[in-house]
Chains A and B, each alone.
Chain A
Amino acid sequence: MTQLALVIDLNVCVGCHACVTSCKEWNTSGWAGPMVDGNPYDESPTGTFFNRVQTFEIGTYPNTETVHFPKSCLHCEDPPCVPVCPTGASYKRSDNGIVLVDYDKCIGCKYCSWACPYGARELDEAQKVMKKCTLCVDRVTDPKLSERDRKPACVLACPTNARLYGDVHDPDSEVSVAIRERGGYQLMPEWGTKPANHYLPRRPTRMHIDQDELTRVDNPLRKEDLTTYTGEETLDDVAW
């Protein structure tokens, strides 16, 4: 069975919110109607978003590190929000594992949002139905789009390629390889929801300098060089 998901690389996310705006742009102008905003140009603006980028700080000053943390629906393999829905509006697609809301069946009781530990669902204040990330189901299942474009809007927008998209059940997919080889992990594993989306951890970026880079060991002129040096700059001082 296919389970489409995102793998988000926290090591390269720079917190630019491009995924947030492209998500909003694509989905607010999509088939499901707008994602309504309240007071957009006024005090206390609010609105419906499928995706948000949050920022956390690790450690105490001056030894701190900033983590930008994009958060959207994790498309759990065992989604707790689905069985609680009284109308069946909340469901998980059997063909690709995407968790969706049927906006025409939703009664806006908010029970599914209580049953999501990640806060991934948001009630649209104007349409009064529950909304959530669709993994751009209208894009990823659209055969009219080219292979390159058949990805969620957030993935295409990310300037640092922090968002990978694919089938986490296919062991050879880009996302499965990333999870396997780069320490992909799930959020709040203690609840047993088995989120399909994974995160790749921060990794320390260290500059590694070989001795070769400081002193040339392969300088062909050295063997034939008969000059006596007295401290002046030579070819050996040029780092490659």
Chain B
Amino acid sequence: MHPAFSVIFLTTLIGAGQGLFLAMVTGQLYAIARFLPAQEDQFYAVGSLVALCLLAAGLAASFFHLGRPERAWRAAAMWRSSWLSREVIVLPIVMVLVLAYGVAHWMEWTRPLFRVGESLQVDVTLLLGLVGTLASLVLFVCTAMIYAAVKFLEEWHTPLTVSNFIFFGAASGFMLAAAYSAYIGNPLVTFFGTWAVILTLVGLISRLMHLLRNARLKPNSNVQTAIGVRHSALVQKAQGATGGSFNTREFFHGQSDKTLGWVRIFYLLMVFPLPILLIGAAYASESPTLPIAAFAIQYLGLLAERWSFFAEARHPQNLYYQSVA
């Protein structure tokens, strides 16, 4: 498949945004459980604002993917059958919940509404945080299922696509939370950094399993079934157009296998070991800048990972477009 930068930015930006929001809510939950010192409400409010900006940037990027962006509102119609339609509905819901969570913290609407058991005081921010967490997880599934649900793209048609999207999004979000904490000098950087490292490692396992699965994948279709001629020696001599077509532009990445290999090595370094090392170094040296570098490097790596995710997928229609003339 041809990797479209609009979609690469959409999926990585909203992934980081959702992850940052999850990190904020996790921080609040830990504070409620008194595992962490309670933070000022502003901390959560600003974090949610950053998450909202990432989600909005992702949404903006998605419009560049559309041929007719002015009709984008129509995309909410077919939520019963289309994962893309479901994403179009859930993304604004998540954005509204993140905004509401941030506003609730900013306005310090923290008077308990009711009480569960002896000690758990439930306020508006906690309710919004929990609903937002649920919506964020649903959004991860919707985004990933857009790819995982296309059975013809066998490289994508696996639950590992969903786990990759969830863990990469969450890891980059917690990494950003660590960077944010480091930037404002908040001691939570260790907490978020630890979670970021755990999520990155789980993401690494998920991605390696995905790579291993795809390396063993045997395509369901071949040129014999494509044109229905059962003969072992079957080559295309002409594809009906000399100058290329939509089919040659949309479904081929146009790079050599060597480039693909380099991109894979690049993202395997940038997403996994380098940020972990930088977070580790930041923990040892208490540096305020290293977590920021860790996030930046991991995000760059995730861009390459998403590019590679597209380039790896071999569409069966390519069997009809093997030779120009």
Contacts and interface: CB of A to CB of B under 8 A. Distances in A.
A185 interface: yes
Interface stretch (A115-123, A150-158, A164-172, A222-230): A115-123
A201 interface: yes
A216 B246 CA distance: 61
Chain B: number of interface residues, binned into ranges: 35 or more
Given A87-B71, A87-B75, A48 B246 contact: yes
Interface in A22-69: 39, 43-49, 52-60, 66-67, 69
B84 interface: yes
B234 A58 contact: yes
Contacts of B240: 17, 20, 49, 52-54, 71
A108 B66 contact: yes
A84 interface: yes
A100 interface: no
A47 B153 CA distance: 25
A47 B240 CA distance: 11
Interface string A164-195: 00000000000000000000011111110000
Contact of B229 (A58, A60, A116, A118): A58
Contacts of A110: 65, 67, 250
Given A46-B243, A188-B221, A84 B84 contact: yes
B184 interface: no
B227 A67 contact: yes
Chain A: number of interface residues, binned into ranges: 35 or more
B151 interface: yes
Q: Does more than half of chain A's interface fall in helix, strand or loop, or is it mixed? A: loop
Contacts of A107: 66-69, 71-72, 74-75
A128 B68 contact: yes
Nearest to B4: A110
Nearest to B153: A114
A190 B67 contact: no
B251 A119 contact: yes
Interface stretch (B49-57, B109-117, B201-209, B313-321): B313-321
A88 to B, nearest CB: 5
B34 interface: no
Given A44-B244, A87-B78, A191-B220, A201 B68 contact: no
Given A46-B245, A114-B153, A71 B320 contact: yes
Contacts of B321: 119
B300 interface: no
A119 B84 contact: no
A202 interface: yes
B77 interface: yes
A57 B239 CA distance: 12
Given A57-B237, A59-B233, A86 B246 contact: no
Contact of B231 (A46, A54, A59, A87): A59
A48 B239 CA distance: 14
B28 to A, nearest CB: 34
A109 B75 contact: yes
A3 B226 CA distance: 22
Nearest to A104: B71
A204 to B, nearest CB: 13
Interface of B: 1, 65-69, 71-72, 74-78, 81-85, 88, 146, 149-153, 220-221, 223, 225-229, 231, 233-247, 250-251, 315-318, 320-321
Interface of A: 17, 20, 39, 43-49, 52-60, 66-67, 69, 71, 80, 83-89, 105-111, 113-119, 121-123, 125, 127-129, 185-191, 199, 201-202
Given A58-B234, A110-B67, A119-B317, 11 more contacts: A52-B245, A55-B237, A86-B74, A87-B78, A107-B68, A119-B247, A121-B246, A122-B247, A129-B68, A191-B151, A191-B316
